[in-house]
Homo-oligomer: A and B are copies of this chain.
């Protein structure tokens, strides 16, 4: 039995290091990666490694938060991509051996709030 929280930390550390062999070792053979916003899906370790390794542009990442129970984890990560900051939220589930079985990624983009909220919130 592995520790999904530690596995997720390794997943991000090896991505940042572009150590794609170690990154792949965090993944189950039949890992499933999904992006609900674009309805994209990649199944299998090689495809998921490739999807990450071939990402265009200069990027670096910093893990903001990881929340995990015994079989699931969520990470909130700050990315700098071509000098712009973006944030990624990833939901993970664990295979019985502690490797990652599923990843569901969200990439929330900035937007302008509706006018009727102007009196209800401050801006930071």
Chain B residues contacting A59 (CB-CB under 8 Å) are none
- Whether A58 sits at the interface, judged by CB under 8 Å, is no
Given A65-B91, A108-B106, residue A120 in contact with residue B47 (CB < 8 A): yes
**CB-CB nearest in chain B for A113:** B38
CB pair B47 A76 closer than 8 Å: no
**A67 and B38: CB pair below 8 A?**
no
Give the distance in Å from the alpha carbon of A44 to the alpha carbon of B54 in the complex. 44
Instruction: Report if A124-B91 is in contact (Cβ < 8 Å); known contacts: A56-B116, A68-B69, A69-B69.
Output: no
- Give, as a whole number of angstroms, the nearest-CB distance from A11 to chain B: 16
Question: A21-62: which residues lie under 8 A (CB-CB) from chain B?
Answer: 34-43, 47, 50-51, 54, 56
Using a CB–CB cutoff of 8 Å, the interface residues on chain A facing chain B are 34-43, 47, 50-51, 54, 56, 65, 67-69, 72-74, 76, 87, 89, 91, 104, 106-114, 116-117, 120-124
Q: Can you list 18 contacts pairing A with B, beta carbon distance less than 8 Å?
A: A34-B124, A35-B121, A36-B108, A37-B108, A38-B110, A40-B113, A41-B123, A42-B121, A47-B121, A50-B120, A51-B120, A56-B114, A67-B68, A67-B73, A74-B91, A76-B91, A89-B106, A106-B106
